Structure 1
């Protein structure tokens, strides 16, 4: 997911990133997301939202009449131009990549588990971990895509040093984004925790030791509070900042996508567990990292997307396993 969670769906043209954790001493921070099975929505999406792709005969992962390997890839961002670039590259290698669009984050994982699609690419590892824990599925990452920083914006201050005691900062109130936003503020030196929480909530904030007071609100409302006289800053997901016309480079502070704590927020390609070594699927991951695809990914994100390289499937699966364990320990 390139930027949210139980998540609030991103607008067209914005990657999901889907949130991220903060420091390596915590390991992998996680948030709780509820993934519901939406069978009817999935079926409708499969039949209607394929863009220019026509349904092919046979089951998912079948062969087309011309002998090409058919691979159905589900995403919540089917309008993003980089998917068509990837589709064209795959076609040159005899892979018929069918793009399947979904309107809700809760749909692609059940569709994958049920065999309606072969791969999906819309979520980060934290979201996948929560899905597996909540459903008993064992969906697995096979390759990385991107990560997007979670920024703190302010119209009142130009740096974190200018924030004063007792000022309010609005943060998303859904579990995953909230935990990540709190880590952003902690990293910026604006809040202190009473302990060492792996999934912090506002109750973990040491008010006396902190500079700002957090005000949890719906993620979709954070951007609109930027001009509120009672709000000194807002932590806003990339998609909502884009929709609100923010200068995406005009943030006061943002977390580091390359940090250890950001690992749960790496967005990934996901497959069923018995197909993680499929060479065609692995080739699709490799083609995603073709310069022509990556250039389009970054451009569509307004320059905010950070491409994630250097993690093979085994490394991503290890991060997923640790993240699932951390979630279970805090539930």
Structure 2
């Protein structure tokens, strides 16, 4: 297992901070001096995780004694590889099934420090304005990784597509 106490503490703070972000007040708060946990470099896709990390970094991390740096990624394959090779300290982009699939495929031992959120899935078209107007036999693109492909197929099946 490749996770340090500092990383686990920092990840827990990030998870807690993100979870409490919606409950935070805009009024300034006074807090006792917080021991520094140091800096954690988190890799994620820009949206939505990068936006969430920016909010946490700008508004909550300092009060928890943490500095967050963000490494943006543009695909779902690179963040776990970067975490495995030590290029980043943590990542924020996947569900537990995706992590398990990655570990099995690569014989890695990455672990989750906690669940934060699961982004909703959406399907877009510049030609079709509603699901009801989708022609029988129409082509629908789905993610190519097994975890998210399965999720997309379940969503489509729930709409009888």
TM-score interval, normalised by the smaller of the two chains: 0.5 to 0.7
In structure 2, C-alpha distance between the alignment counterparts of 1:100 and 1:189, rounded to whole Å = 39
**Whole-Å Cα distance in 2 between the matches of residues 101 and 158 of structure 1?**
33
Aligned partners of 1:73 and 1:118 also within 8 Å: yes
Give, in whole Å, the separation in 1 of the partners of 2:130 and 2:86.
50
Does the 8 Å contact 2:128/2:134 carry over to 1? no
1:303 corresponds in structure 2 to none
- Per-residue CA deviation, residues 128-177 of structure 1 (Å, 9 max, x unaligned), is 22211111112122222232134486737664xx777xx21212262535
Equivalent in 86, 98, 114 of residue 56 of structure 2: 86
Q: Which structure has more strand as a fraction of its residues?
A: 1
SS in 2 for 1:98: strand
Corresponding residue of 1:189? 160
Alignment partner, residue 115 of structure 2: 143
Distance 1:67-1:104 versus aligned 2 partners, 3 A rule: same
| Equivalent residues of 2:84, 2:108 under 8 A apart | yes
Q: TM-score, normalised by structure 1?
A: 0.31
Q: Which residue in 2 is equivalent to 1:155?
A: 128
- How far apart, CA to CA, are the structure 2 residues paired with 1:113 and 1:133? 13
User: 1:75, 1:138 → 2: CA distance?
Assistant: 19
Q: What TM-score, normalized by structure 2, do the two folds share?
A: 0.58
Residue number in structure 2 paired with 1:77: 46
Query: Aligned pair 1:125/2:122, yes or no?
Result: no
Segments of 5+ residues of structure 1 without an aligned counterpart are 1-59, 191-331
Partner of 2:92, secondary structure, is strand
SS of residue paired to 2:128: coil
The aligned length equals 123
**Structure 2 unaligned runs (5+)?**
1-5, 8-34
SS at match of 1:123: coil
Q: Could you say which structure has the greater relative contact order, defined with CA pairs below 8 angstroms and 6 or more residues apart? A: 1
Change in 2 beyond 3 A, CA 1:185/1:68:
closer
Q: How far apart, CA to CA, are the structure 1 residues paired with 2:36 and 2:129?
A: 61
Pair 1:152–1:169, CA change in 2 (3 A): farther
* Distance in structure 1 (CA, Å) of the matches to 2:129 and 2:96: 34
